[in-house]
Amino acid sequence: MGEILKYLEQQFYHIFNTTPDVIVKAPGRVNIIGEHTDYNHGYVLPMALEQGTYIAGKKRDDSHLNFYALNTNRQSIADLNYPSRNPIDPWMDYIMGVSYELRKSGYKLSGMDGIIVGDVPMACGLSSSASLEMAVLKLFEALGNFIIDDVESAKLGQRVENEFLGLKSGIMDQFISRCGKEGHALFLDCRSLEYELIPIDIPEHTFVIANTNCPRGLTGSKYNERVLECNDALNTLNFVFKKSGTHLRDFTLQELIEIKDKMNPISFKRAYHVLTENNRVLSCIEALKQGNIKKVGDLLNESDYSLQKDYEVTNRELEVMTDIARNIEGCKGSRMTGAGFGGCTINLVETKYVESFIHKLIDKYNNITGRNGSCIISYPSEGAKILKIFS
Ligand code: GLA
């Protein structure tokens, strides 16, 4: 940790010729189970990663947001008073989006100079964007001397996605990036926003994240399409049962199955995934508490089949990678994680096989797809925080 702080301080000095006021960090996340359930008011079980987005920032006297992204070597300047999208440097949209939402909520902000660096692989289903949003929010809080409640912070981040960026995503990514706890996954009820920390201490087993390194293509539009399909299923359920539910959570799997013939078959499949996935999250929590590792692995596999067959958010690379993984010694279960359409898988692997698992997985994946996969192992980590305040 000391090294990254020193690096940011040096880079800040190099670019702005002064020391920053503060350095903040917010983590990426991996979702263990509970995929595409959050915007249906269902259950999710993500954990925060050690990898995250770091920002060193200093208050300015004017309203300029002057940021430098070290990963891409790009500098971009915007004005708080003129919120707009930035097609050339889209990472700037997250900074502008957070400031826009804060100002809408009545916070008085000043401009700032900042440098950003991150080690969450981008566009891979590990929430690099939510980690940027939550780091930016922490920075505004630190420099503006105010603190926003954790749940409100996650909601604000979700509004940035839904309203400023037009992606109809749920609240999982921002919530875990803000509220993650070391050594724990977070079991979140996306309806009540109540959560329980679940210790991730599976004896002799490790979660291995594997990246297909396959660009995600069309994620935004396909994602919003799934949201609409869930909504269509909801409308039919409401119509047939003469109810006024607001989300799929308002109906049981039994009710859905009962009216299968009256529903558009695509919408039925989407809703079927969502309601069965909610049950899998609950079973997974039980299995984790009981130390039933085989059951956890089976649930990961079942979740993945449902995402392949019913929700249809996998692609060839994801399917190849999970299929290879399941056939490697020591792997108890494997599934795609995050929005899908490319990105990463999460694998539960016996710790003594982790090294050979990674080696075999990457090798076979490369033979079949011609792509270079890569793996990450991360201890469950802390949510957004201030790392250093300079006096
Ligand atoms: C993306 C969204 C989340 C969630 C997942 C799928 O990460 O940002 O809100 O819907 O996809 O589970």
Same domain, 83 and 219: no
Cα 300 to middle of ligand 1, angstroms: 17
CATH number of the CATH domain containing 296: 3.30.70.890
Percent of the chain with pLDDT over 90: 96
Residues 103-108: what's their mean pLDDT?
96
Over residues 20-76, the pLDDT tens digits come to 999 999 999 999 999 999 999 999 999 999 999 999 999 999 999 999 999 999 999
Both 93 and 190 in a single domain? yes
- Residue 43 beta carbon below 6 angstroms from any ligand 1 atom: no
Q: How far is the CA of 339 from the centre of ligand 1 (A)?
A: 5
Can you give the pLDDT at residue 73? 96
For tokens 């060839």, what's the residue? 316
**Cβ–ligand 1 contact at 169 (below 6 Å):** yes
Pocket probe mutation, ligand 1, options 39, 172, 336, max atoms within 8 Å of Cβ: 172
Return the ligand 1 atom nearest residue 130 CA.
8
Residues 107 and 110: their CA atoms lie apart, in Å, by 10
Q: What is the mean pLDDT of the segment spanning 98-102?
A: 98
Three-state SS for 328?
coil
Residues 6 or more apart whose CB falls under 8 angstroms from that of 9 comprise: 19, 20, 23, 56, 390
Residue 328 — pLDDT band, cuts 50, 70, 90? Answer: very high
Give which of 226, 219, 172, 224 is closest to 383, Cα–Cα: 172
Ligand 1 centroid from CA 170, angstroms: 6
Cβ atoms within 10 Å, residue 117: 17
Tens of pLDDT, residue by residue over 359-375, are 999 999 999 999 999 99
- 105 pLDDT more than 80: yes
216 and 188 in a common domain: no
What amino acid positions are annotated as catalytic residues?
A: 173
Indicate the number of domains in the chain. 2
Whether 373 and 253 share a structural domain = yes
Q: 160 and 210: one domain?
A: no
Q: Residue 173 Cα, ligand 1 centroid: separation in angstroms?
A: 7
Instruction: Say how far apart CA 25 and CA 117 lie, in whole Å.
Output: 10
∠ CA 381-212-50, rounded to 5°: 10
Q: Is 175 in the pocket of ligand 1 (CB under 6 A)?
A: no
C-beta 36 within 6 A of ligand 1:
yes
What digits encode the pLDDT tens for the residues 8-19? 999 999 999 999
* CATH at residue 116: 3.30.230.10
pTM: 0.97
Q: How far apart are the first and last CA of the chain?
A: 19
